[in-house]
Structure 1
Amino acid sequence: MNGQLGCILIVDDAPTNLFVLSKLLTSAGYEVIQSSGGLEAIALAQSHQPTLILLDIMMPNMDGYEVCRRLRSMPETAHIPVIFLSALDAPFDKIQAFHSGAADYVTKPFQTEEVMARVHLQIELRLARKRQEQINVELEKRVDERTQLLELAHSQMVDLAQSDRLTRLPNRPSFLRRLGKVMAQSQTDPRVSFAVLFLDCDRFKRINDSLGYRIGDQLLKGIARRLSTFEQKHAEVDMVARFGGDEFGILLLDIADKTDVVDFTEKVSRILSRPFLLAGHHIFSTISIGMVWGDRSYVSAEHLLRDADVAMYQAKARMHRKYCWFEPGMHHLAVKLLNLETGMRLALQRREFELHYQPIIDLERMKIVGFEALVRWQHPVEGLILPNEFIPFAEETGFIVELGAQILEMACTHVADWERAGVVDDELTISVNIAPEQLLQPSILNHVQHCLDSTGICAQRLRLELTERSLIGDHELVDDILQALKQQNIRLSIDDFGTGYSALGYLHQLPVDCLKVDRLFVKSITDDPGSLGIVPLIISMAKTMNMEVVAEGIENITQLDQLRKLGCQYGQGYLFHKAVAADRVADLLSAPISSWLGESD
């Protein structure tokens, strides 16, 4: 029966395209409405409420971009997905299409298989969203009903004593009491099997710092609601509790083996990885989970929970699977983390951190035009420690703010030293990484200006590198800070561009001078054109927006040649040189690149 799969509005001023697409979609079971102009298409969309719109761009009187924008501005049509069908193939045209509100883009002449696949995908996504909205409404209703029953069943004093006031979940003492009872039962009944999951939100402090504590509290409530719903659906979940801060616990009872625990853990991770919509912000929260099997050798609930906590911190160090079983050797890690915290406090006081500089090369002239400042920790006992061993911990604990301030001061001081020594020309710049937590500090603008004034270097020397995740969250606040930095004549770069795509939607609004192509994309480049991935798109997009491009991680001549062919202006990587101490910068600048190309030290 025609139309059973949905209704599709085709908008195109070419009768041939209308005929071909209508025949194709009708034969596939879709109902089809046709329009050859923008105003008529808008009226048909309002009256017929199609499931999907296929929209041409180049039309008389009103182009497809304007049609799409108007559809998005009207509540009755804003939800209808639009797929552009156009002969325009430039990256700028595609970017403009997505800015207009398009869900997808197909280039003419099109392949029928591609059109049908993209149509089917968009319709499936719309149906899935409707189903998810219905499920969310039902789940929220069930959570609200359960909360009301709990409030009626318990007095205020019992609630304060046994429950967390923010989330209404049982608190840590309640969890420990229940865990103690289960452990006692397991000692006398070997059939009792149990496990404990210790959950902690990753980078929760960054959410509080960037969006405020009210949003942070709402996120904790959202996590609690999802965990409570999980508890209701799984009889094996004996208790869900909030321990305080961003820490939660789950007690699993009557489970078969460790495989079942892992299955539960993965389900919890998936539930909490879905975005939270809080006060207009889509918040993504990843969770690290420590797991402990109910070993009867434990005599104290506190000790078992302590080991789950230790396993959780081990999970935080993992790149992919964010959960981990406790192992006895992990106590060493807990001591190491404690020592690391103490060591970092002392290192900041004693200024044990130093900067090494990796040259940034003009790929056409093969000339050094800048350096990226990379921090190292000169530990008094362990020697030189690389940043991947302490930067994640510094970000998690908040030490990154003070460390970032010291890095900026050192970089400006070194540039001033090089200027006095007459080893740098006017063209050379210094790139300094700015962490998201540092960017949102109220004093950031004053601190940057103080570093420039106290060292006497020109603002144009300084290039601040921001990661894409620095730009998510409070866009208005971030924009104000970036605009203020730009007014100080400071250059701005987006580091590791393409790994998160979070800034793509409003990149054109940012006062950014440069995009840095992440080393992961450069690493895969070979002689095969198919190995280039999204690198050509990034370079083309940057040029369209009058931005410079720096490719990171160039390690061989093949990568260099391919990047040159794509028109990439600048690059850095081990093919040229690793980062060197500040006192070796003059040596690099005084020697031709050919004399040290590919040096490993």
Structure 2
Amino acid sequence: MASEYNGDILIVDDTPNNLRFLSTTLTQQGYKVRSVTDGLMALTVAQAAKPDLILLDIKMPNIDGYEVCQRLKANEQTREIPVIFLSALDEVLDKVKAFTVGGVDYITKPFQLEEVLARIETHLSLRAAQKEIRKLNGELEQRVRQRTAQLEKEIAQRMQAQERLLHIALHDVLTGLPNRAWFMKHLDHLLKQVTQQPGYQFAVLLLDCDRFQSINDSLGHSWGDRLLVSIARRIELCLQPGTTLSRLGGDEFTILLKDIKSLSDATRIAQDIHQELASPFQLGEYQVFTNVSIGIVLGSESYEQPEHLLRDADTAMYQAKAKGKACYQMFDSTMHHRALTNLQLEIDLRKALERNEFVVYYQPIISLMTNQIVGFEALVRWLHPQEGLIPPIKFIPIAEETGLIMAIDLCVMRQACLQLRNWQKEGLADKSLTISVNLSVKHFVSFNLLQQIDTILAETGLDGQNLKLEITESDIMKNPEFASQIIVQLKNQQIQFIVDDFGTGYSSLSYLHRLPIDTLKIDRSFIMRIGNKGENIGIIQAIMALANSLGMNAIAEGVETLEQLEPIKRLNCQFCQGFLFSRPLEAEAVRKVLATGL
């Protein structure tokens, strides 16, 4: 639905596909759209055109989005233009920095269209309200100069109008609750009060709805909005007079507990909220269950900025979410230390990509019919200049969280494809030998995945039939329809697909049947359970039966002993990999294996 306030929007993003998508979408919504790909050009256009709103990407050449925003706010002609940051980064510190340099909002890539349109409409409406206030004040001053009759009445009317507009600017339209601007203003006031009154204590509770996105996706945004209103009303039932509930945005709420006596005051409210939300919500004909994860932080004199307190509440909330649904977690300093450690790790990962510090190891995949190597799985390692070889378990989670996994995956793919092509040229590998590369689900929301893989195959000279892509079962099921579209297009290039970690997640058999998958990789956890007498093979047997019925092959992963291998052979599993045959090898060691055999 088009915004009621059609304004001028400047989009700043160095990714052409993002620009095209946003420009087309917003133009269809009735907005006048300008777009640039460079931060310096954005400053020039903003000063000349004075748009009503700027959508600003963070990672760009020349100068990044943070510096662009700082320069805009330092310029008298552009400081009033609201800036919404766009970024694939989703760390709390990134969000805090975005608001610190003057941004009014933060949208995480990949975009949710309804979210982008809602955020734009909110901030354009807020700016319109601010302009209206200035206009009303200007009109009032002019009329005062022209006449003195009914002056008091007019002043009162204007003040009422200003109060209404200010209320709109400081409150959430959907729930009627105070919004982020109100919350941050009052949080700053409480921090000042702590410095003036030693011993004064308050607490912030940050609440994030569990499973809200899945409810939104399945029932639609209108029902999602109704659910948010119902959640807000139930939370209010748990609060005493003087305690303020705010909506930060999306499915996040905050509670300000003033003048508390002890930590138990905050934890008791968290427990009450969990109990109140335990009952189902009735949405039309559907009964929906949801609750909240809560992060709790105590306000103290150690905090100088409200953004830092909100950052720590957010950190604690994510710890609560990691513990399971409907949990709460108090913030402690070790959490902040871990967050800083992760931030440093992210910085090091970015440098590692620039310096080509990632190397590929290769684990053989064996045919159990011929006992010959039929392929290799490419496994990434980080050769750190100070710490040496770092295993993926130490850095892949952060890479996934920050989106750097996409660049790492493509780096591994390029190295592995080039290596296999070199072995072919040397006569060590025939045309049937394949290389398997792991692919993160984040690639499935990329506009140019197909082009990137085409480029790698063209640059390395490797045929598509020699490349296999491994995608975890849980990743596929996050968006099976979109995954199917990507897989079908890549299958046209003879690229094969393997479902990794099969059996550890939840798969819809109907989707699995429709997806053009070639191979199921049996997760190593099932292989490890095989006993000395070949027992505990029921799940493996079921996976083999499923693979056979769907015309797929199977790979047993993590085979380490002969006791594990024998029952796998009896089940007619086609392929195997694990320490029993070989550990992951450096490229030079693989060259020797190909020349002489295992």
Shorter-chain TM-score bucket reads 0.5 to 0.7
Partner of 1:118: none
* Contact map agreement 1:227 1:240 (CA 8 A) in 2: no
1:290 Cα offset (Å): 3.4
Distance across 2 between alignment mates of 1:202 and 1:352: 38
Q: TM-score, length-normalised on structure 2?
A: 0.61
- Structure 1 residue runs of 5 or longer lacking an equivalent are 1-152, 594-601
- Residue 465 (str. 1) matches residue 470 (str. 2): yes
* Contact map agreement 1:371 1:431 (CA 8 A) in 2: yes
- Which runs of structure 2 are paired with 1:111-510 in the superposition (5 Å)? 157-164=165-172, 169-179=177-187, 184=193, 195-199=203-207, 221=225, 224-225=228-229, 227-235=231-239, 238-243=243-248, 248-251=253-256, 257-258=263-264, 261=267, 264=270, 289-293=294-298, 301-312=306-317, 324-472=329-477, 474-510=479-515
* Contact map agreement 1:176 1:301 (CA 8 A) in 2: yes
1:170 Cα offset (Å): 2.9
1:378 Cα offset (Å): 1.9
Letter of the structure 2 residue corresponding to residue 158 of structure 1: L
After superposition, the C-alpha distances for 1:542-589 in whole angstroms (9 at most, x for unaligned) are 011110001222232222222222222212223322222222212233
Cα pair distance change 1:297/1:446, threshold 3 Å: closer
After superposition, the C-alpha distances for 1:506-556 in whole angstroms (9 at most, x for unaligned) are 211111100111222222222466623422111110011110001222232
Letter of the structure 2 residue corresponding to residue 586 of structure 1: R
SS of residue in 2 equivalent to 1:567: coil
* Contact map agreement 1:199 1:289 (CA 8 A) in 2: yes
After superposition, the C-alpha distances for 1:350-395 in whole angstroms (9 at most, x for unaligned) are 2222211122122343322111111122222332222222222222
* Contact map agreement 2:474 2:505 (CA 8 A) in 1: yes
Cα pair distance change 1:201/1:228, threshold 3 Å: closer
Distance across 1 between alignment mates of 2:575 and 2:251: 42
SS of residue in 2 equivalent to 1:484: helix
Distance across 1 between alignment mates of 2:229 and 2:578: 47
SS of residue in 1 equivalent to 2:373: strand
Moved more, 557-566 or 509-518: 557-566
1:489 Cα offset (Å): 0.7
Distance across 2 between alignment mates of 1:432 and 1:487: 18
* Contact map agreement 1:195 1:292 (CA 8 A) in 2: yes
Distance across 1 between alignment mates of 2:502 and 2:251: 30
Distance across 2 between alignment mates of 1:364 and 1:534: 22
SS of residue in 1 equivalent to 2:500: strand
Distance across 2 between alignment mates of 1:261 and 1:185: 21
Partner of 1:531: 536
Percent identity, aligned pairs only, is 40
SS of residue in 2 equivalent to 1:478: helix
1:398 Cα offset (Å): 2.0
1:453 Cα offset (Å): 2.0
Distance across 2 between alignment mates of 1:270 and 1:522: 44
Size of the aligned set, in residue pairs, is 433
- Structure 2 residue runs of 5 or longer lacking an equivalent are 1-160
1:401 Cα offset (Å): 2.2
- Residue 586 (str. 1) matches residue 586 (str. 2): no
1:456 Cα offset (Å): 1.6
* Contact map agreement 1:195 1:261 (CA 8 A) in 2: no
* Contact map agreement 1:555 1:575 (CA 8 A) in 2: yes
After superposition, the C-alpha distances for 1:17-72 in whole angstroms (9 at most, x for unaligned) are xxxxxxxxxxxxxxxxxxxxxxxxxxxxxxxxxxxxxxxxxxxxxxxxxxxxxxxx
Letter of the structure 2 residue corresponding to residue 335 of structure 1: L
Partner of 1:35: none
Cα pair distance change 1:226/1:409, threshold 3 Å: farther
Cα pair distance change 1:398/1:284, threshold 3 Å: farther
